[in-house]
Amino acid sequence: MRFLKQAAAVFITFSLFFSSHQNSKAEPFIDVSAKSAVIIDGNSGRVLFAKDEHTKRRIASITKIMTAILAIESGKMEETVTVSDRAVRTEGSSIYLTSGQKVKLKDLVYGLMLRSGNDAAVAIAEHVGGSLEGFVYMMNQKAADLGMENTVFHNPHGLDDHKDHYSTAYDMALLTKYAMTNKTYRKIAGTKRYKAETMQGIWKNKNKLLTGLYRYSTGGKTGYTKLAKRTLVSTSSKDGTDLIAVTINAPDDWNDHIAMFNYVYDHYKTYVLAKKGDIPELKDTFYGTKAFIKRDVTYLLNDDEKEDVKIETKLLEPKKKWRKDKRAIPDIVGEMNVKLGGETIAKLPVYYENERNKKPKKSFMETFQSVFKKAAGGPSWSI
């Protein structure tokens, strides 16, 4: 918001206070078998535990997360794919396609994710990318767009057919965070059993966390090759907290993921730091109840961090003509900066309510909770 730098501004800073606070900060201790591991907040992307998360390694079939999301985003999921000889000859895990077979792309993506079909991966790549090589180009372009700085793809399935096909635990977490914003991807990755529409097949998901080992599992992708060893990406959700875990070369990957998930759920909680709508701290200022933010600000915090959150709201200094003509007030009148320990974790514009910008409406439950908190004496604020 460049114009704020050029204008006189009013600063309002307030801190969040909670009932409990611990002085000592405990570093996460999680014992994992993986050579590389990471667990992140699925919403903010915050890294909660990591082990060699930026080391480049072979990744096996978790490659197929990229293949799946590109197929979904192509808009061709209902199209019919004619399976090529090249796809049929692909080594490793398979959904047993035959040359010339006609299959809906959607079925191929389910077979890719649930049964890790390498033949499905090649068939998808040829249909969506025009050729396998064209699709690989798309994969690397998407990786660059997502900031996957230590990733290079050379195939759509993850087989060890090229020495320079690699990624990192952190990069795969970034990719999964992006993929999980797509409703169709979430549905497919979280499907336990699927009956194909255009070919013979009732497929059970290979992800044992999803099918029974972990009650909070919401999906993911397994992988294995002789060189990469066991790789695993998994997601979970509990009490409004969404997590993404990745392990590479992990002999005991199921337990690694359960340990990481349980540690975070035991030590962290998702807090709403600022609610969408008007900003109570501005009630007695020029802006009153007309200034607002359009979305909630949520963040995953542990007990040691809760008092380290500060919110700074920077507002344009009101001009005299604004008092006479409200229409002269800009749509954006400020900026809210949410900080944790001095570092910005969220930054969003402050809007002024007018005909163009309508304040988000609160649900009945949100209004009820707001009134209840005031009556009960909710979190205190200082300005």
CA nearest to 28, candidates 264, 188, 191, 248: 264
CA nearest to 354, candidates 283, 295, 287, 274: 287
Single out the catalytic residue among 36, 51, 61, 177: 61
What is the sign, positive or negative, of the torsion defined by CA atoms of 190, 195, 200, 204?
Answer: positive
Cα separation, 26 vs 8, in Å, equals 42
User: Helix 105-114 vs helix 118-129: angle between axes, to the nearest 10 degrees?
Assistant: 140
221 among annotated binding-site residues: yes
Cα separation, 196 vs 112, in Å, equals 12
CA nearest to 273, candidates 307, 244, 314: 307
CA distances 258 to 212, 217, 304, Å, are 12, 9, 23
In the chain, the amino acid numbered 383 is: I
Cα separation, 137 vs 153, in Å, equals 8
Residues 305/341, Cβ–Cβ less than 8 Å = yes
Q: Put the strands of the sheet holding 217-225 in their side by side order.
A: 47-51, 36-41, 241-248, 229-238, 217-225
Single out the catalytic residue among 64, 206, 290, 306: 64
Cα separation, 224 vs 211, in Å, equals 18
Single out the catalytic residue among 36, 84, 93, 116: 116
Residue 253 CB partners (closer than 8 Å, separation 6+): 33, 34, 230, 231, 232, 247
Residues 121/109, Cβ–Cβ less than 8 Å = no
Does residue 116 carry a catalytic annotation? yes
3-state secondary structure string across 312-323: EEEEECCCHHHH
Cα separation, 59 vs 250, in Å, equals 11
Tokens 């409703």 belong to residue: 183
Measured CA angle at 114 (ends 113, 120), to 5 deg: 55
Tokens 């500060």 belong to residue: 310
Annotated binding site for substrate: 221
Task: Just list the catalytic residues.
Answer: 61, 64, 116
Binding residues: 221
